[in-house]
Structure 1
Amino acid sequence: MGDHSASMSQASRILLSLVAGLLLGIGLAAWRPDQAVALTAVTQPLGTAWLHALQMVIVPLIVGLLVTGVAAAAEAARAGRIAARAILIFIAILWADTLLSALVMPALLRLWPLPPGWGESLRAALAGAAPVGEVPTLARFFDTLVPTNAVAAAAADAFLPLTVFTLAFAFAVARLPEAQRTRLVELFQAIVDAMLVIITWVLMLAPIGVFALAYGVGARTGAAAFGALAHYIASVSAIGLLVLVAAYPLAWIAGGIAPGRFARAVAPAQAVALSTQSSLASLPEMLRASQALGAPAATAGIVLPIAVAIFRATSPAMNLAVALYVAHLVGASIGPGALAAGVATAAITTMGSVSLPGTVSFIASVAPVALAMGVPIEALGLFVAVETIPDLFRTVGNVTMDVAVTRIVARWGGAPEPVSPDAAS
């Protein structure tokens, strides 16, 4: 997420549909309140049907992406020690970022909660957004971590046990002889490609679905909806900014590069990331920045392409933040068990976010985390329309962390090239 240039025209259409739906709902509610609410009997099922159409592909998509993502990581690790070292650092950072989000996001929402009037209005507008299934306790988290029946877990949207099984299956596939491994990976890649075709069809209807959902929110909440969306954007973007900023001390402590030097070197890559919302488009500048920071061209040439393909430093932290925000929005209590389920699901499924445009990966990455925590996903239909702004923080954070990790791998590999004297001071 935040790493591929989705069609800006499509993103603009979805955003305009959100604004138009809210404004129409607000205007009609002010003019004819009874008729405005009555009309939601038509618009709400339309919006819900669109959400269900997105939700129906999540299980096969996540399974396919995890298998192909782990296969890509294993293939890269087999290519040499540099790649293996980079992947280990990637995994450590992903888990650390997710745990950081689990600590910071609830604290942020306690310090700066959604104003009561806005929250009550949105909860009324999302009246059907009740907790999904049984909210996991800490005991249940460990009890259900390993599924007794993977098919039943998939059917019940039990994403954490399904993810654990899929991860074990993916690592088993990676140990098979090459011919068998290739056939299976190609099968799951074909499944992913087919799911992406379906999602493309569903997203063609996104303006209608988002308009229908937004109308219902506008009719029931009034102008509070705009304030609530702004609060959401600021809260979730703050977590992305936190991950971005964490790259600077990480490059200093583990990479031996002072923050000022690191900031100057990575700035051009960040500028490309901001303008394109694509890590892939930022790759040439990331290569130049890494070499300017003393990473040999051979090391940067291995680490950065792997990072662009499978490493999303901001994704698990921000995906968990979205799920925690929805829980805050609907007044759902998140205990230790639910939080542990969210952390584990967010950190593991990130490896499956490869090659997805932002709009697709928002639903595919956040929904499993929310469902694992027992959090309803109805609000995601609105939040996807304003994902463009948080997506900027995702992309810039990913690019910044990619360069930091490249420098760290070069230093720990014992082969960093000399940098100018101010690099380490």
Structure 2
Amino acid sequence: MKAKRFLTSLSVQVLLALVLGLAAGMGAQRWGLPGGTGTADFIQSIGQLWLNALRMTIVPLVFSLLVTGVASIADAARAGRIAMKAVGWFAALILFSVCYSVAVSYGLLSLWPIDPEGGRLLLAAAPASAEGVGAGAPFGEFLKTIAPSNPIRAAAEDAILGIVVFAVFFGFAASRLPERLRAPLTTFFEAVGETMIIIVRWVLVAAPVGVFALSLGVGLTAGASAAGVLLHYVVVISLACIGIGLLFYPLVMIFGRVSLTRFARAAAPAQVVAFSTQSSLASLPVMVERAVDELGVRRATAGLVLPLAVAVFRITSPVANLGVALYCAHLFGIEPSAGQLIAAMLTAALISVGTVGLPGQVSFFASIAPVCIAMGVPLEMLPLLLAVEVIPDIFRTLGNVTADLAVTRMVQGEDVEPDREMAAGI
């Protein structure tokens, strides 16, 4: 609870740092900055140092989280027919959400593009340094990155898709070991992951300073245009998350055989808790109660599927993370090749397994940076987007809670009793 309050307070501090930094930069743009370009370069160096401190944790954090996450999924799948069915639904829906994210992101940015002048000015404060598979690389180059010939070299070169694929195979292989070997191995990677999370939290303590330094440079170069681009980003990512949540209403009607009105009534209390806490875990007791009392799900099914969903399933993760990466690609004027896009989609789908349950500020970098790297998109914009993540994070949690309840009813499927409201056409 204390950690949750700290992170909420940190979100407010980071948002204030962003506003103050932009305001200070705009003021310096108008009236001048003491020390001129030397002072500006020094301040931006502080922001870059903070960003580099976050980047150094990405590879070990992602690898360790994926190994333990995949091992836990494999263990859950062996727990019985209902658990196996739930994992199957989770996998299918995550793949669906990846395709949805690409379609919606391109659609929204086509209908409502980024302001060209605002984007240009914003980029002037964050020079591009693309990573990953180069733009326009042949599809064959992408295929070669799927299985790294040398995982250690892949980690050193930020070949993120190869690292992710290797981690997934490693996790599944670890789950096949006898208990006496599997337990210490997964415990080791769990400890590595927790260690990296502690480091990230230490770095995030300095987030207000880092974001202020970076945003001051942005305000100095882009002025008020930066605020307009950031607002545009918040709306686009929030709409994508709202959309995936709304899609579960017809899905649960078709596959869960429940009327829209009944599901809406059942989901509303859990959605209120999700909105106020921004935590799927905090919404879990209400979700169990509503699934049993309002959706007719057996308590044993709800008691198994909902905790499993909170532990390994976050439907809005690939939606928002791919959306952020594609937004940054548009901002930098990068047109991802087919190989880059597929690499980013696979990375987003697999990363969503490992980063479930992490605090928003930690998971923002752990889940979005690998997707950006796979797509060849620079990471320099992520600290500024982190500062306004508090708003999209609300809609991420709402979508997750809605999906968790819907999947629980869908998993029980043909075993649920007929919905009288649906039969009556309500």
State TM-score, norm by structure 1.
0.95
Whole-Å separation in 2 of the counterparts to 1:156 and 1:314: 29
Whole-Å separation in 2 of the counterparts to 1:407 and 1:227: 41
1:344 corresponds to which letter in structure 2?
Answer: L
Whether 2:127 is the aligned partner of 1:93: answer no
State the partner residue of 1:40. 40
Taking a change above 3 Å as real, the CA distance of residues 223 and 36 of structure 1, as seen in their structure-2 partners, is farther
Whole-Å separation in 1 of the counterparts to 2:112 and 2:10: 32
Conserved? CA contact 1:37–1:220, under 8 Å = no
Whether 2:128 is the aligned partner of 1:129: answer yes
2:234 corresponds to which letter in structure 1?
Answer: I
Conserved? CA contact 1:323–1:375, under 8 Å = yes
State the partner residue of 1:27. 27
Whole-Å separation in 1 of the counterparts to 2:6 and 2:361: 7
Q: Secondary structure at the match of 2:319?
A: helix
Whether 2:271 is the aligned partner of 1:270: answer yes
2:220 corresponds to which letter in structure 1?
Answer: A
State the partner residue of 1:190. 191
State the partner residue of 1:305. 307
How far apart are residue 144 of structure 1 and its match? 1.6
How far apart are residue 168 of structure 1 and its match? 0.6
Q: How does 1:18-417 map to 2 (within 5 A)?
A: 18-32=18-32, 37-126=37-126, 128-133=127-132, 134-135=134-135, 136-291=137-292, 292-411=294-413, 414-417=414-417
How far apart are residue 33 of structure 1 and its match? 6.6
CA RMSD of superposed structures (Å): 1.5
Whole-Å separation in 1 of the counterparts to 2:423 and 2:22: 51
Whole-Å separation in 1 of the counterparts to 2:113 and 2:34: 31
> What is the aligned-residue identity percentage?
49
Whole-Å separation in 2 of the counterparts to 1:6 and 1:322: 25
Q: Secondary structure at the match of 1:355?
A: coil
How far apart are residue 130 of structure 1 and its match? 3.0
Conserved? CA contact 2:341–2:375, under 8 Å = yes
Q: Secondary structure at the match of 1:14?
A: helix
Conserved? CA contact 1:296–1:415, under 8 Å = no
Taking a change above 3 Å as real, the CA distance of residues 66 and 35 of structure 1, as seen in their structure-2 partners, is same
2:275 corresponds to which letter in structure 1?
Answer: L
Q: Secondary structure at the match of 2:281?
A: coil
Q: Deviations over 1:220-266 (max 9, x none)?
A: 00101110100110111111111111111110111111222211110
Conserved? CA contact 1:252–1:259, under 8 Å = yes
How far apart are residue 137 of structure 1 and its match? 3.9
Moved more, 329-338 or 307-316: 329-338
Whole-Å separation in 2 of the counterparts to 1:355 and 1:180: 26
Conserved? CA contact 1:132–1:375, under 8 Å = yes
Q: Secondary structure at the match of 1:376?
A: coil
Conserved? CA contact 2:131–2:158, under 8 Å = no
Taking a change above 3 Å as real, the CA distance of residues 119 and 217 of structure 1, as seen in their structure-2 partners, is same
Whole-Å separation in 2 of the counterparts to 1:420 and 1:141: 51
2:396 corresponds to which letter in structure 1?
Answer: R
Whole-Å separation in 2 of the counterparts to 1:295 and 1:5: 33
Moved more, 24-33 or 396-405: 24-33
Whole-Å separation in 2 of the counterparts to 1:87 and 1:270: 23
Off by >6 Å, runs of 4+ in structure 1: none
Q: Deviations over 1:359-394 (max 9, x none)?
A: 010010000000011100000010001000110111
Q: Secondary structure at the match of 2:280?
A: coil
Conserved? CA contact 1:273–1:281, under 8 Å = yes
Taking a change above 3 Å as real, the CA distance of residues 5 and 392 of structure 1, as seen in their structure-2 partners, is farther
Aligned length: 419
Conserved? CA contact 2:98–2:322, under 8 Å = yes
State TM-score, norm by structure 2.
0.95
Structure 2 regions of 5+ residues with no counterpart?
none
Conserved? CA contact 2:310–2:357, under 8 Å = no
How far apart are residue 196 of structure 1 and its match? 1.1
Whole-Å separation in 1 of the counterparts to 2:424 and 2:181: 48
Q: Deviations over 1:330-368 (max 9, x none)?
A: 111112111111100000111001331000100100000
Whole-Å separation in 1 of the counterparts to 2:377 and 2:66: 22
Taking a change above 3 Å as real, the CA distance of residues 423 and 97 of structure 1, as seen in their structure-2 partners, is farther
Conserved? CA contact 2:248–2:406, under 8 Å = yes
How far apart are residue 160 of structure 1 and its match? 0.5
How far apart are residue 217 of structure 1 and its match? 0.2
2:227 corresponds to which letter in structure 1?
Answer: F
Q: Secondary structure at the match of 1:354?
A: coil
How far apart are residue 35 of structure 1 and its match? 5.5
How far apart are residue 289 of structure 1 and its match? 2.1
Whole-Å separation in 2 of the counterparts to 1:210 and 1:41: 15
